[in-house]
A and B are shown apart, each in its own frame.
Chain A
Amino acid sequence: MIRPLRVGVDAGSTTWKAVAIDGEGRIVAAMLLRSEPRVEEQSERALAEMLGPLVPEAPPRVAATGYGRRRVPGAVARPTEIAAHAFGAAWLAPDASLVLDVGGQDAKAIRLGPGGRAAEFAMNDRCAAGTGRFLENTLSRLGIPWDAVDDMVRGAPRAAQISSTCAVFAETEIVGLIADGAPVPDVVRGLVESLADRLAALIAQVHPGGAIVATGGVARCRPLLAAVAARTGQTVRPAPEPQLVGALGAALLAGP
């Protein structure tokens, strides 16, 4: 019997992601696009494009997760982002006991239970200062590309103190710091550390212990992961292709 392709779609608010797994459990295709307002149309079009060259012998089984999961046509399962990230991360890093996902709109800490199921989770989506968007926006305001952050933070002698809780206040604070002549690297380091503080607090909510695997776009920011590791006393490493973990988890949940 031919096992059909399993496809996971993660229709997030900023990016649309998909991953396909073949009958042997190998990742055979992946895709990452900017989200379009019409999830239905984008999903249909992009899936056709991604799956076309694979010439599947049986119709693929699609599972959808993410903010737009209910609007992905033909999905056999619609797991939450929490379940999808848990399954995806557990598959990629079987030794990890905790997932830290920092997306554009939210951040979540998930303690993994048996079989990759979430045993406990905490989520921040009310306050932008604890999400990837805040870091991204501020970096772009300061005109700093992502890949420069690593060297910049390493070279910063100290972290500028950013104490505001709220993203709006924090932005004013940062503008003020720069205006007062604080070196940009110090401000960037301060920014990374303030986000790390919030993420460490989120992690503490789920009774951590053991290795942490980081997912989502911000997992590329190594100084951030190092700062989280320093605060939690646990190792934190990025998942391979961290932005695709949710889609991968959905694919795993699309069928046996």
Chain B
Amino acid sequence: MEARSAEGVPVGAAVAALPVEHPREFATALGRITREIWGPPGLPQQRGRAWLPSFACPMTRNALEMLLRGDVAASAALLVVPHTCDSMQALASQVMDLGAGGIPAVTFYHPRTLDAGARASFLRDELRRFRTEMERLLGPVADDRLAKAVAIHREADVLAARLLREGPRAGLPQTEQYAVLRARERLAVEEWLALMRDALDRRVEPRPRGAPIVLSGIVPEPPGLLDAIAASGMRVGFDDTACVGRRIPRDRLPEPTGDPMEDIARRYEALPPCPTRTVDPTTRLDWVVAGARAAGVRGALFVVPARCEPELFDLAAVRGALRTAGVPSVVVETDFEAALPASIATRIEALGEMIGARSP
């Protein structure tokens, strides 16, 4: 039997986290890996049916299924639930109030207001509360260790931004490049850094193949999606997915202040706009159009998880803004299938034909 702390959590176990963004520096400072629960694609839904209606999104369903199977409690000390949307909020409450998953949970609330002053002060208060909750369950976070964790995450942000900005590298197909970028979802930050350094050691592809496109949505799933993009003569020129591009600060990161809590807040504030965290009606449109222009894209692909409200609300406006900028787009909806359905593959090919990346 593995060792358990006074609170009954496995000693040294990982921290599990639901999608999408939350401050990871505290877990790192506590020497814990953060594992994100996106659920393997195509996860058979067995236990979750008794808990969720048919109209819950695939992310919520997969996460709940994994919680109910006991997979999460077996490997993690606690569950972090960022307040990504109404569905994740309901999932947090089912874990914390109804015992789903048998694991303690800590929430993190994203302040969503246009009132900059209120947002800034709440963010800092919420970070302190989050830290206190993590400490209550996992033990104290030493300031010097937190400072180290902040520094290493900062380094990771810088490398990830470079990987995204510089585009394809020799001998590293885009599928693999994404595997590197998404490794943060399950690896310790040090391991992630090592993977990114390896990737960055390769030279930048001077003439990358494929017509650049915008890839938008929550997560580049189902498996085979990126291969289908490549097979249709395209590549991702600008990433606007919630799990990759929208949580890598792309502009220059704010300089360290010497106060790790303040640095965490400033890093959060430097993140690109995302409908799971931000509410400004126009910032995201400007962000996507500017990114599309800078990458010289010819089209856009929106990969939307079925019934995902945060993503769906902005879809018409973002597509409209791209259309005005001369960028045609295609939307595919995914239920996190185990493999790429033919219907999605056909739409991707048709996008390639439409923008002349693939001869019909």
The reply, when asked whether chain A contacts chain B directly with Cβ atoms under 8 A, is yes
B359 touches A77 (CB 8 A): yes
A118 touches B333 (CB 8 A): no
The answer to the question of A80 belonging to the interface, with a C-beta cut-off of 8 Å to chain B, is yes
Which residues of chain B are near A117, meaning CB under 8 Å? 353-354, 356, 360
Min Cβ gap A188→B in Å is: 29
Given contacts A117-B354, A118-B353, contact A81 B346 (CB under 8 A): yes
Given contacts A120-B328, A126-B333, contact A77 B360 (CB under 8 A): yes
Which residues of chain B are near A80, meaning CB under 8 Å? 346, 349-350, 353, 360
Which residues of chain A are near B112, meaning CB under 8 Å? none
The answer to the question of A84 belonging to the interface, with a C-beta cut-off of 8 Å to chain B, is yes
Bound Cα distance A247, B349 (Å) = 18
The answer to the question of A134 belonging to the interface, with a C-beta cut-off of 8 Å to chain B, is no
A79 touches B360 (CB 8 A): yes
Bound Cα distance A195, B147 (Å) = 61
Bound Cα distance A253, B359 (Å) = 9
Min Cβ gap A37→B in Å is: 15
Closest-by-CB residue of B relative to A13 is B342
Bound Cα distance A9, B359 (Å) = 17
For B, the interface residue count at a CB cutoff of 8 angstroms equals 15
The answer to the question of A16 belonging to the interface, with a C-beta cut-off of 8 Å to chain B, is no
Which residues of chain B are near A113, meaning CB under 8 Å? 354
Which residues of chain A are near B360, meaning CB under 8 Å? 77, 79-80, 83-84, 87, 117, 253
Name the interface residues of A104-158: CB closer than 8 Å to any CB of B.
106, 113, 117-121, 123, 125-126
Instruction: Return the CB mask of A195-226 against B: 1 if under 8 Å, else 0.
Output: 00000000000010000000000000000000
Bound Cα distance A228, B333 (Å) = 25
Min Cβ gap A82→B in Å is: 4
Which residues of chain A are near B346, meaning CB under 8 Å? 80-82
Bound Cα distance A84, B359 (Å) = 12
Bound Cα distance A79, B323 (Å) = 24
Bound Cα distance A5, B359 (Å) = 20
Instruction: Return the CB mask of A172-211 against B: 1 if under 8 Å, else 0.
Output: 0000000000000000000000000000000000010000
B349 touches A67 (CB 8 A): no
Bound Cα distance A43, B221 (Å) = 33
Bound Cα distance A126, B332 (Å) = 11
Closest 3 CB pairs of A and B: A83-B360, A79-B360, A82-B350
Beyond contacts A82-B353, A84-B360, A87-B360: 7 other A-B pairs, Cβ-Cβ < 8 A, are: A80-B360, A82-B346, A83-B350, A117-B360, A120-B328, A121-B350, A126-B343
